[in-house]
Amino acid sequence: MKRLGLVRTLKGTIIFLAVMAATCYTVIFPDAIQEMGAENANVTWLVTPGTIAVSLSAIPIAIALVLFWQICTEVGRDNSFCHKNAGRLTGIGFCALIDTGYCAVGTVTLEILVGSPIWILGLGVCTVGLSIALAAFLLSHLVLKAANLKAENDLTI
């Protein structure tokens, strides 16, 4: 696949992910929280705070998608290995860690307050989040090394 085709595919994927996230955060998650509140009268007081708490977890995801879009833009300019992209990958890693920690705290809090088996889903989400964070940090390191090599080679006659 050529560079511009790759960039278009990646940006299309980012748009798809953004639409999916928007659908989840505006329709699916609020409906699921409302349904859980309707099924159990003991947790109806958690519906509004739960909806707000889940909505806040969208912020790091949105930031990570913007950073990934910026990386794709640099790839389109044939500037894949630059210090800015290394920093952006680090930012994506921190977004993943923040969201993973937020999910872990929310899962434990919900388990303590309600005693539901939601921790199984939370464990899976945390595992995926940690995997994304580790991959982003590793890629950041590799891009930084490549950017340094590129800068060194640009100085060579």
Q: What is the pLDDT of residues 25-73, one digit of tens each?
A: 999 999 999 998 888 888 888 899 999 999 999 999 999 999 999 999 9
Domain ranges of the chain: 3-155
Lowest mean pLDDT among 1-15, 92-106, 108-122: 108-122
Question: Contact, 61 vs 99, CB < 8 A?
Answer: yes
Other residues' Cβ atoms within 10 Å of the Cβ of residue 92? 25
3-class secondary structure, 45: helix
Residue holding tokens 């969208």?
58
Task: Report how far Cα 77 is from the mean position of its chain's Cα atoms.
Answer: 24
* Packing angle, helices 47-56 and 83-114, rounded to 10: 160
Q: What are phi and psi of 99, to 5 degrees?
A: -65, -35
